[in-house]
């Protein structure tokens, strides 16, 4: 079966998390991803948070599946020559270096276009054009600058960052969409273009409901926020704890075993359409007609009291029992799943969302497969490459170098020392 992006060749000059998530996703869809790494060290994540001595870390292996690795010193004359030869035959070049790094390598947009006018140059930066454009950025900085941290956490506590990597992996996703869109446009124009995804912009895009609330605030209190009706609203959107961002009030409630299990909780939603069911399942049928509870508007000022009552019921059941009982009434609710529970989840494995992969050095590991399912393009998750594992393969089969050219490349030091072919 032909894969969606088969025939698309990606020059992957990314590192750490944001860029690699983007190119891994393109690899899942069938693109040929050639990852360029600095000889000797490679992507810095290979050695970060190591759990198995001398083996590439999970940080690296879970972000770099479905890629080939070529070690290349871009500051070596021959190395730059090889890089430029690859630019000529690739459809997309992806990078997430600090601002100015590509220009310092001599790879300006003008030079890249000169080499290949059809190429798409896709970049992740921390900030878009403006006062901070030259700054380096990591995940949590983007969460703070994009509006997520100021709106996450509880009202009486400090701003909080979220475990979901919305700055890195979130921006990687944005960039992937930009790339396939540019490829689609190239079908009509024949030209490449630059694609930029700034991490601050990506986080803000995911926080757009909070910018919505910022504007609503000018017209009165945010009635679905826990601050209403007793707390105070300032001039900026406050942290809303676990309140739902939409029109259906929700909160996280304790379940049976919460005293010892930190994840014995459930997210419970009191959506207007299922209010009757909520009243029945928690044993409060009188609330269906009681004017203090019967309508969404009547409930808004007493949401916390309502959730406290619902919690008395959820605390008598496990999160799975709550989910089961609530869904019988079509009441949406979410068990708080630990990473241990997710890692062991059979259904997620069956759909390929969690995949177990073999690795020659570290042994078997779990990774997240393709979260986007296409009916006509099956994802096969392949292990991450060893550093420089495909040096020979790429010179020989992609760049079509003959024996002499390969020898010259090796002798120039562009690929690093003899040890850079780590796969041997
Ligand atoms: N051969 C030779 N040199 C190479 C090379 C190669 N194959 N690959 C990289 N380098 C060099 C670069 O040329 C650069 O050198 P100069 O500064 O001398 O020009 C150097 O490595 C460092 O690049 P960098 O500044 O991008 O790396 P850093 O570790 O200092 O910063 C990061 C990392 C992530 C903060 C920065 O790259 C950045 O802000 N990127 C954009 C935003 C982003 O993606 N952030 C998310 C990262 S994931 O949390």
Residue whose Cα lies nearest atom 28 of ligand 1: it is: 98
Q: For residues 317 and 327, is the Cβ–Cβ distance under 8 A? A: no
Question: What ligand 1 atom has the least distance to the C-alpha of 39?
Answer: 7
Q: Is 168 in the pocket of ligand 1 (CB under 6 A)?
A: yes
Residue whose Cα lies nearest atom 8 of ligand 1: it is: 38
Distance 275 CA to ligand 1 centre (A): 53
Distance 301 CA to ligand 1 centre (A): 51
Mean pLDDT to the nearest integer, 49-67: 97
Probe residue for ligand 1, chosen from 13, 72, 76, 98 as the CB with the greatest number of ligand atoms within 8 Å: 98
The pTM (predicted TM-score) of the whole model is 0.96
Mean pLDDT to the nearest integer, 150-178: 97
pLDDT confidence of residue 229: 87
Q: For residues 72 and 83, is the Cβ–Cβ distance under 8 A? A: yes
User: How does residue 325 score in pLDDT terms, banded at 50, 70 and 90?
Assistant: very high
Probe residue for ligand 1, chosen from 97, 171, 420 as the CB with the greatest number of ligand atoms within 8 Å: 97
Mean pLDDT to the nearest integer, 123-127: 98
- Tokens in use for 66? 């479905």
Residue whose Cα lies nearest atom 49 of ligand 1: it is: 138
Across the chain, which distance is largest between two alpha carbons, in Å?
A: 87
- Tokens in use for 394? 């790429």
Mean pLDDT to the nearest integer, 259-285: 96
Judged against a pLDDT cut of 50, whether residue 317 lies above it is answered with: yes
Going across the sheet that includes 333-335, the strands are 250-254, 265-269, 333-335
pLDDT confidence of residue 419: 39
Judged against a pLDDT cut of 70, whether residue 149 lies above it is answered with: yes
Long-range contacts of 102-105 (CB under 8 A, 24+ apart): 105/74, 105/75, 105/80
Residue whose Cα lies nearest atom 13 of ligand 1: it is: 101
Burial of 175 (0-12, 13-18, 19+ CB in 10 A): buried
What are phi and psi for residue 190, nearest 5 degrees?
75, 0
Lowest mean per-residue pLDDT among 18-22, 220-224, 252-256, 388-392: 220-224
Please choose, from the candidates 418, 406, 395, 403, the residue with its C-alpha nearest in 3D space to the C-alpha of residue 89: 395
Q: For residues 265 and 258, is the Cβ–Cβ distance under 8 A? A: yes
Going across the sheet that includes 92-95, the strands are 68-71, 32-37, 9-13, 92-95, 120-125, 194-198
Q: How far apart are CA 312 and CA 292, in angstroms?
A: 19
Q: Is 104 in the pocket of ligand 1 (CB under 6 A)?
A: yes
Question: What ligand 1 atom has the least distance to the C-alpha of 37?
Answer: 7
pLDDT confidence of residue 244: 83
pLDDT confidence of residue 66: 98
Residue whose Cα lies nearest atom 17 of ligand 1: it is: 101
Q: Is 312 in the pocket of ligand 1 (CB under 6 A)?
A: no
User: How does residue 80 score in pLDDT terms, banded at 50, 70 and 90?
Assistant: very high
Mean pLDDT in the chain? 95
Q: Is 98 in the pocket of ligand 1 (CB under 6 A)?
A: yes
What are phi and psi for residue 183, nearest 5 degrees?
-65, -40
Question: What ligand 1 atom has the least distance to the C-alpha of 75?
Answer: 2
- Which residues are known catalytic residues? 168
Q: Is 139 in the pocket of ligand 1 (CB under 6 A)?
A: yes
User: How does residue 125 score in pLDDT terms, banded at 50, 70 and 90?
Assistant: very high
Tell me: the pLDDT tens digits for 398-423? 999 999 999 999 999 999 974 333 33
pLDDT confidence of residue 133: 97
3-class DSSP string for the chain: CCCCCCCCEEEEECCCCHHHHHHHHHHHCCCEEEEEECCCCCCHHHHCCCCCCCCCCHHHHCCCCCCEEEECCCCCHHHHHHHHHHHHHCCEEEECCCCCHHHHCCCCHHHHHHHCCCCEEEEEECCCCCCCCCCCCCHHHHHHHCCCHHHCCCCCCCCCCCCCCCCCHHHHHHHHHHHHHHHHHHHHHCCCCEEEEEHHHHHHHHCHHHHHHHHHHHHCCCCCCCCCCCCCCCCCCCCCCCCCCCCCCEEEEECCCCCCCCCCEEEEECCHHHHHHHHHHCCCHHHHCCCCCCCHHHHHHHHHHHHHHHHHHHCCCCHHHHHHHHHCCCCCEEECCCHHHHHCCHHHHHCCCEEEECCCCCCCEEEECCCCCECCECCCCCCCCCCCCCHHHHHHHHCCCCHHHHHHHHHHCCCCCHHHCCCC
pLDDT confidence of residue 246: 74
User: How does residue 1 score in pLDDT terms, banded at 50, 70 and 90?
Assistant: confident
Q: How far apart are CA 58 and CA 357, in angstroms?
A: 11
Distances 18 to 59, 96, 198 between C-alpha atoms, Å? 12, 7, 10
Mean pLDDT to the nearest integer, 300-305: 91
Q: Is 136 in the pocket of ligand 1 (CB under 6 A)?
A: yes
Distance 413 CA to ligand 1 centre (A): 21
């Amino acid at each position: 079966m032909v894969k969606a992006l088969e025939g698309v060749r990606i020059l992957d000059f990314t590192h750490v998390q944001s860029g690699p998530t983007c190119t891994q996703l393109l690899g899942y869809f069938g693109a040929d991803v050639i990852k360029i790494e600095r000889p000797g060290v490679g992507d810095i994540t290979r050695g970060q948070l190591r759990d198995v001595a001398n083996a590439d870390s999970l940080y690296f292996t879970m972000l770099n599946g479905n890629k080939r690795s070529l070690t290349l010193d871009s500051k070596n004359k021959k190395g730059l020559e090889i890089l430029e030869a690859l630019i000529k035959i690739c459809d997309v070049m992806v990078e997430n270096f600090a601002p100015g790094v590509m220009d310092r390598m001599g790879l300006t947009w003008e030079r890249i276009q000169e080499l290949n006018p059809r190429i798409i140059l896709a970049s992740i930066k921390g900030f878009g054009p403006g006062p901070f454009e030259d700054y380096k950025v990591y995940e949590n900085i983007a969460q703070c600058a994009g509006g997520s941290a100021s709106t996450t956490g509880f009202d009486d506590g400090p701003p909080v960052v979220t475990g979901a990597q919305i700055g890195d992996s979130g921006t990687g996703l944005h960039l992937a969409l930009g790339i396939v869109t540019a490829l689609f446009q190239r079908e009509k124009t024949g030209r490449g273009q630059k694609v930029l995804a700034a991490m601050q912009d990506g986080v803000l895009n995911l926080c757009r409901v909070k910018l919505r609330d910022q504007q609503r605030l000018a017209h009165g209190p945010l009635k679905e926020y826990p601050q209403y009706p007793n707390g105070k609203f300032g001039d900026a959107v406050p942290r809303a704890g676990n309140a739902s961002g939409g029109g259906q009030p929700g909160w996280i409630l304790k379940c049976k075993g919460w005293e010892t299990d930190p994840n014995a909780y459930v997210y419970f939603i009191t959506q207007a359409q299922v209010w009757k069911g909520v009243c029945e399942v928690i044993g409060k049928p009188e609330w269906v007609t009681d004017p203090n509870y019967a309508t969404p508007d009547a409930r808004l000022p007493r949401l916390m009291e309502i959730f406290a009552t619902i919690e008395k019921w959820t605390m008598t059941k496990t999160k799975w029992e709550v989910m089961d009982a609530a869904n019988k009434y079509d009441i949406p609710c979410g068990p708080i799943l630990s990473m241990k529970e997710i890692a062991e989840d059979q259904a997620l494995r069956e759909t390929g969302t969690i995949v177990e992969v073999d690795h020659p050095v570290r042994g078997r590991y779990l990774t997240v497969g393709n979260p986007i399912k296409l009916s006509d393009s099956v994802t096969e998750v392949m292990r991450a490459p060893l550093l420089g594992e495909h040096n020979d393969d790429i010179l020989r089969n992609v760049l079509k170098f003959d024996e002499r050219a390969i020898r010259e490349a090796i002798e120039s030091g562009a690929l690093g020392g003899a040890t850079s072919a780590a796969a041997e």
